[in-house]
Amino acid sequence: MTLNTEFMLETFFIALKGIPVTLSLAAISLLLASPAAFFMAIARINRIKGLQKAVTVYVSFVRGTPMILQILVIYSLLPSLLNQLFMNLNLKINVFDVNPILYAYIVFTLNTAAALSEVFRSALQTVSIGQLEAAQSIGLSTYKAYTRIVIPQALVVALPNLGNVTVNLIKGTSLAFMMTVKDITALAKIEASYGYNYIEAYIVIFFIYIILCSGVQLAFRLLEKYLGGYRKPAAG
């Protein structure tokens, strides 16, 4: 068997066009998930009654089910629920006009929020309660103490795990093709389907994902180095 290298090169450039979709799927999910995850982490750390339990159930539910199943459920269930809703509200919106990328945002945001809530929780707990108290004792409000002292340090601690979550998310978005979203994977699959060149197409996007994910990991490492400078003892 020989690989069709000409096809591979062509597919490479076509699949590259999926990068903005893949990255914006990841970025928007991260953006939507972060504040939610932060409040879930706070709810768990401060043992806020009711909320704490709800968060625990949510996290174990999301993390305990395969993402592919979540996609199938949301992608087949949500449209009919929405349809019902639109009809009840007498809205003349056709659910099939809803951009499928919205479903993708929902699935990935739900997953990322669960993962991030754990990351934030452990990171916040690494900052000693004493620093919070010290800030309060010199007159800072709890809000200021968090935003100026606790969160910046927790963020630095969280960065490696945040990088992992991001990389997992980018890899996970390759399932978006199931929702007919045209990301890297979807574009390559479409290209492959014309001449049945699946092996070549998969090899090509394999490398695209490796490059993308390595780049993200590198970015997170540099960011950690930059923001975490205060942690390393210097000589003299």
Q: What is the SS3 assignment for 45?
A: helix
Rank residues 50 and 130 by Cβ distance to other proteins and give the closer one. 130
Nearest distance in Å: CB 38, other proteins: 18
Nearest distance in Å: CB 42, other proteins: 19
Angle at 26 between CA 21 and CA 28, to 5 degrees: 90
Q: Which residues are within 8 A (CB) of 112 and not within 5 positions of it... i.e. 6 or more apart?
A: 29, 30, 33, 37, 165, 169
Nearest distance in Å: CB 31, other proteins: 24
Nearest distance in Å: CB 105, other proteins: 33
The pair of structure tokens assigned to 167 is 């990389």
Which residue bears the tokens 């990088």? Answer: 163
Rank residues 62 and 162 by Cβ distance to other proteins and give the closer one. 162
- Amino acid 113 reads A
Rank residues 194 and 230 by Cβ distance to other proteins and give the closer one. 230
Rank residues 66 and 130 by Cβ distance to other proteins and give the closer one. 130
Q: Tell how far CA 198 is from the center of its chain.
A: 27
| Number of residues that make up the chain | 236
Rank residues 25 and 135 by Cβ distance to other proteins and give the closer one. 135
The pair of structure tokens assigned to 49 is 């009654």
Q: Are 112 and 165 in contact (CB under 8 A)?
A: yes
Q: Which residues bind other proteins (CB under 8 A)?
A: 127-128, 130-131, 133-141, 144, 148-149, 152-153, 156, 230-234
